[in-house]
Each structure stands twice: as C-alpha cells, then as structure tokens.
C-alpha cells in the first residue's frame, strides 16, 4: 500500500470512528480545494475539524484515545485548548481541531468541506463558516512556558518546517524552524542552562541577551540558524541539542529524521 492509499484509508477510518461516537455532529475538511480526499501533504497528512454538541468539546479533547481504536497513537500534542497534533504509529501525521456550533461564524461551509454529518441534524447547522482563527494557523499561537508544551511545539515545528522545505517552500521552512522552533528552543534553554550573566534583573528579552547569558552555547547558536538553504542542517542541530537535555518521543523523532535523510551527511 502506498502512503497516499494509507492516508485515504485512514481518512475513511477516522470518518467511521467519528460517526460512531455520541455527541458528534460533523467532520469537516477545511481548505480541501474541492476534493473530499484532498491531503494536506505540505503540513500534515490529514487535517480535519470535528464539530460536536454544545458542552461536549472537552470530552473529545481530554483524551483522544477514541482515535487510538483505529491505530495506536504514538505521539500527541495539545497545542491549544481546541487543537491537537498527533501521530499514528504507522507514520500518519494529523491535525485536529474540535469546535462547538456557537464557536463558528456566520456564512456558508462549502459542501465539499463536509466529510460527514449526522443525518438527524438539521441542514442549517452548516449555514456557518469556520472562522479563520481555527483554520490550522501554524504560525500564530500563544506561547506557554510549560516545558512539555514548548517541546511539543518545537518538535512539530521541526516536522512541519521540514515538510515545507521538501515541498519547495524554503522561505516558509526557514521561518518556521529558524525562527519559531528556535524561539521555543531558547525558552527551553532558559530553563535548562545555567545563566552566566549577573544581570538577573534585566527586562531585556532573552533572545537579545542569549550570547551574554549563555556563552557556553556560542559554538551552537550559528548551527541553529544557518540560513535559507540550510534549514535541514539547523533542524538537525536543534534536534541533537534537545536530545542532550530531554527524552524525545521516538516516533516523532523518526518522522523528523525521515524528512532530513534526503539531505546528505545530515543523518
């Protein structure tokens, strides 16, 4: 079975699983470009939105084990209150947003974006449109200080950025890895590394004082930000540094390395 065939099969399995759950109203495929099985191959394999009954959102976000009935979920990251990124153990990378009807804005959802809807539901439920803020915006997110959140965001930034790079979107990949992922890394450095500067009361952002505060990293900083053509090398340097300070989920690491391996002398 090819990767695309596996993705199409998985999409059908997700649709059937959603239909079998209580309190689900619809499965939407935003940005599907008019094709029900359109794949978000640039950022993830399957990006979908689940519309649920009022008051039931947290039931589906507290634990996504209901999706593990399809295939073991090897990595999961709750990026925001209504947004998960997760990886099936067979390498299918997914992006899930869960919403209730009142969170949608007025307008029309194109019929091709509706992958499934409960037959008992009134059709007017779809006289709404997915708000722009929920459409898998990868570059606009509130950053948290929790190290687990920072690590999850960093690792998915690396994976998505490398997918973009390999898809020819080098500038976008550069921005996502050498800006966003690096920013998360510096937040973790702030927690992992001892500060050498005595200016502990400074209000200066840590990105502006990192060389002074962490001179022990001076030889690595250039590797983290090698420039437009060298994003995979920067991703590898960031990954290696992170692995020296914390454990990394094997499956997400393997996916990152798979994206890097096409570039010689990096694996």
Q: Are 57 and 99 in contact (CB under 8 A)?
A: yes
Question: What is the overall mean pLDDT for the chain?
Answer: 83
Q: What is the pLDDT of residue 219?
A: 87
Backbone dihedral region of 142: left (phi > 0), alpha (psi from -120 to 50 degrees) or beta? beta
Average the pLDDT over 202-218 and give the result. Answer: 71
**16 pLDDT above the threshold of 60:** yes
pTM for the whole structure: 0.84
Q: What is the pLDDT of residue 155?
A: 98
Q: What is the pLDDT of residue 38?
A: 35
Q: What is the pLDDT of residue 29?
A: 87
Phi then psi dihedrals of residue 4, to 5 deg: -65, -40
CB-count exposure of residue 121 (10 Å: 0-12, 13-18, 19+): middle
**63 pLDDT above the threshold of 50:** yes
Residues 6+ apart with CB under 8 A from 114: 26, 27, 28, 29, 126
Q: Give the residue from 175, 103, 91 showing the smallest Cα distance to 133.
A: 103
**Least confident interval from 80-89, 119-128, 178-187, 202-211:** 119-128
For residue 198, what pLDDT band results from cuts at 50, 70 and 90? low
**42 pLDDT above the threshold of 80:** no
Average the pLDDT over 134-163 and give the result. Answer: 79
Range with top average pLDDT, 43-47, 58-62, 164-168, 235-239? 235-239
Domains of the chain: 3-134 (3.30.460.10), 147-260 (1.20.120)
């Amino acid at each position: 079975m090819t990767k695309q065939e596996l993705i199409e099969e998985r999409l059908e399995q997700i649709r059937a699983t959603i239909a079998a759950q209580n309190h689900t109203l619809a499965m939407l495929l935003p940005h599907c470009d008019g094709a029900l099985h359109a794949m978000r191959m640039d950022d993830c394999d399957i990006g979908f939105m689940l519309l649920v009954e009022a008051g039931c959102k947290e039931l589906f976000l507290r634990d996504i084990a209901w999706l593990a009935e399809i295939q073991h979920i090897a990595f999961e990251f709750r990026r925001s209150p209504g947004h998960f990124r997760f990886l099936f153990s067979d390498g299918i990378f997914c992006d899930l947003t869960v919403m209730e009807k009142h969170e949608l804005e007025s307008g029309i959802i194109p019929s091709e974006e509706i992958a499934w809807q409960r037959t008992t539901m009134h059709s007017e439920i779809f006289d709404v449109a997915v708000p722009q803020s929920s459409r898998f915006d990868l570059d606009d997110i509130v950053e948290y200080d929790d190290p687990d959140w920072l690590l999850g965001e960093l690792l998915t930034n690396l994976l998505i950025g490398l997918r973009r790079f390999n898809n020819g979107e080098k500038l976008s990949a550069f921005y996502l890895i050498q800006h966003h992922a690096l920013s998360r890394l510096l937040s973790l450095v702030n927690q992992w590394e001892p500060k050498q500067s005595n200016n502990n009361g400074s209000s200066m952002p840590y990105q502006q004082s990192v060389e002074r505060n962490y001179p022990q990293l001076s030889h690595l900083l250039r590797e983290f930000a090698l420039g437009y053509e060298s994003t995979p090398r920067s991703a590898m340097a960031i990954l290696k540094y992170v692995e020296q300070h914390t454990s990394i989920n094997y499956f997400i690491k393997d996916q990152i390395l798979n994206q890097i391996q096409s570039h010689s002398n990096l694996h």
